[in-house]
Structure formats: structure tokens, C-alpha cells
Amino acid sequence: MNPITPFSFLDYFSRRLGLDDHICCLLPRRYERVLISTLIDCRFMCYRPSAMVVATMLHVIDMLESCIGEEYQEQLFSILGIVKDNVTIVIR
């Protein structure tokens, strides 16, 4: 069996979010860069891989499209059924 890592969730969550083609081309590399930089820090090891990916996605989407970031946030939370408070702790 393969271990479950944040990268296991990355492609799945991206497809479920249904981003348009322009944004979809830019995001995978940026997700990976931010995720790798956070995985190096041992303070993030206490969080679930799925929460790490959602926090990373929200951070990157806010950097790219701040005007529609709220819309994507609500869509992501509703699709995945994740409590917003759990993810905002990781983002901080």
C-alpha cells in the first residue's frame, strides 16, 4: 500500500473545484511549490494531508484571483464538506 500524502489529494481536489482553463493551467505548479515549502516545516506534521492541501489551494487561489477567492473558498468547502475553522488554523 502507498502512504497517503497531501499530493494524493491535490489532483482530486483540483478537478472537483472545476476551475476554468486559464487558472487551471497555472495552479498545479504553484500548489506543489507552496505545499513542498510547508512540508519542510515540522510544525505542519500534526495536520491531516487533506487539510494541508485545502489550505494550500486556498492560499494559492487567493494569490491569483483575490476578487473571486471567496467564491472558490465556499465552493471548495461545500464540495469537500470540510469545516472552515479547521482549515483556517492551518493557513495561519
What domains lie within the chain, and their CATH numbers?
6-91 (1.10.472)
* Amino acid letter, 13: F
Q: Which pTM value belongs to this model?
A: 0.69
pLDDT band at 91 (very low <50, low <70, confident <90, very high): low
33-90 pLDDT tens trace: 888 888 788 777 788 887 788 888 888 877 766 566 677 777 777 877 777 776 666 6
d(C-alpha 61, C-alpha 79), whole Å: 16
> Is 19:27 a contact under the CB 8 Å cutoff?
yes
DSSP calls for 25-89: HHHHHHHHHHHHHHHTSGGGGGS-HHHHHHHHHHHHHHHH-TTTHHHHHHHHHHHHT--HHHHHH
14-40 pLDDT tens trace: 777 776 666 666 777 888 888 888 878
